[in-house]
Amino acid sequence: MEKILIVVGAILLIVAVTEIAPRIRVPAALALVVIGAAIGIMPIVPALHLDPEWILVGVLPPLLYAAAVQMPAMEFRRDFGTISALSVLLVLVSALALGFFFRVVVPGIGLATGVALGAIVSPTDAVATSIAKKLGVPSRVTAVLEGESMLNDATSLVLLRAAIAATAATISFWGVLVNFVYAVVLAVAIGAVVGMLNLRVRARVHDPAVNTAISFTVPFLAYLPTEELGASGLVAAVTAGLITGAGATRFLTPRHRISDTQNWRMVAMLAEGGVFFLMGLELFGLMGDVVNEHNGVQHAVWLGLAALGVALAIRAVYIVPLVWWVDRRRQRGEAMRPILENYTATATAGASKRDDARVRRRFTRWRRRFHLRRHPDPDKTSPTTMSPETAGRINARITRALADIDYYDDAPLGRKEGVIMVWAGLRGVVTVAAAQTLPDDTHSRSLLVLTAFVVAAASLLLQGGTLSWLIRRLRLPDTVEDKRAERLRLRADMDATMQAAMAQSEVVREIPWLRARIEQATREAEDIGEEDADDEDMIDGDRSEGANPGPVIGTGATYGLNLAERAQMRAVRREIIAVQRARLLSLRREGSYSSEALSRVLNQLDAEEISLELQGG
């Protein structure tokens, strides 16, 4: 009974802090760490020593899976190079540099132990990075930070295992490299298989509650067998989440998707809040161990703050050339724009430019860069040899490439964004949990574990507590009007799709009044969605959830109709929704609009379809 009361009390505390913290402009995660630490030092509360497996196995896989499901696949693809550079190479560089630092400042430990601790404190934390997401960080920076934090745990844990093994035996650089490649490749393969099976199975399940219950098992189905095979279970869980998120619209019904979103948001809220609360509770126990062994915690505090400073300095030095490289890629893409547009016209018309050798060479380089080697070069293809299907495939690839160039140009990663990327790289609960996996016979183990805790806590309090101030000081360009303009363009596209669908509908042609009624219902839905979007743009916070389906919409358009007429109208509206959803998926493949705008309209269509089902459609 006592344990149940403790759990209930913790849940109520997490809920209360999550609700109150935004009103006083304090990140809920920071408040929970402080509250946990305050409770932990009370004499009546025993020292807490949590088994790190509870975090690494029980909490992280579902949290990373849920984050991956919500991760915009289009943005992840566009910035995969940047994400990879941060999640792999930066972790390796940071771990090695910190390894030498710890070897110098901590007497009695070797380089392998120093690298192990460096691997522990180097990766950013997906749960901690959610703080940045809720403070209004630019969407592209958020996507990069989320992608980095989801993948760098694999680099960190593989390097940690290798460093621990090196403390007892000799291990070569090539051995570490082979282990890393094996861990990632096998994890991606298993995660992809689990993600596809998840979608295929759940597509055959009709009950939303059962469907969501199955989804709760997916991260563990990906994680557990992968870990048993010696690969990275976290990467497998992330891969399964990315596959699920990308295919959810195709395989799952609107009711299933909304049920998933709402239930997983609840799970993520409790899990995230719980791990930060436990992180604070553990502080007193860790301090007690260090006091007993080292007669004070001053050394651990100094060491942790210094290590955080070194890690941030390395991150800053690394991100400066990375931002320059990203900007150079943007400039190259902009210079390539007229060539791509010319390529589109050439492919469509089947024209020939054999006399322009310079253009032909640039075509060749572009085809190699954008993976179009399989497609024929229009410079060497006559109108009679290029099929419409081939021209269509080429144009689709080019359309997506041009959309990518627009994205890089509209959301650049410049100096200000680079500053945010440095400061928003927060450490968190993964650092604390991983530190406690150090072997018991590690020299100065309690000191190293408390040092890792200080790094994580200082990162959360210092970086997380000042990030909102930093964003205001940088005075980033206001994107509200750009987002509104994009929504209006997408709305016009959806209206055109609706008109085309009604023009093809025999029912609408036979019953003329249906067109006006359906247009009225659509306007009602769009006006509600636009008002909600404008309200969200004026509020600092998480703008990308899009989980609220909104009220039942379009009911005014059915006023005065009898049951048979309402049934006819619902049937036509459902046909139009299906056509509009297919158009949205096509636009997503092309990359013509941001994931945020597409997701918002998709949620509106889902809500309208559920509304029709509730009305008896």
Domain ranges of the chain: 2-326+411-474, 329-410, 480-614
pLDDT digits over 566-581, tens only? 777 788 888 888 888 8
Q: Which contacts qualify for 320-328: CB closer than 8 Å, 24 or more apart? A: 320/418, 322/82, 322/85, 322/86, 322/418, 323/413, 323/414, 323/415, 323/417, 323/418, 323/421, 326/82, 326/408, 326/412, 326/413, 327/412, 327/413, 327/414
- pLDDT of the residue at 347: 52
Q: Report yes or no: 408 and 330 within 8 Å, Cβ to Cβ.
A: yes
Mean pLDDT across 518-541: 58
pLDDT exceeds cutoff 70 at 585? yes
Give the pLDDT band (50/70/90) at residue 533: low
Give the pLDDT band (50/70/90) at residue 12: very high
Radius of gyration, alpha carbons of the chain: 27
Give the pLDDT band (50/70/90) at residue 381: very low
DSSP 339-359: HHHHHHHHHHHT---TT-HHH
Name the residue with higher pLDDT: 454 or 477.
454
pLDDT exceeds cutoff 50 at 420? yes
State the chain's mean pLDDT as an integer: 80
Fold of 2-326+411-474: Na+/H+ antiporter like fold (1.20.1530)
pLDDT digits over 124-151, tens only? 877 667 777 777 778 888 889 888 988 8
Determine what percent of the chain is predicted with pLDDT higher than 90: 18
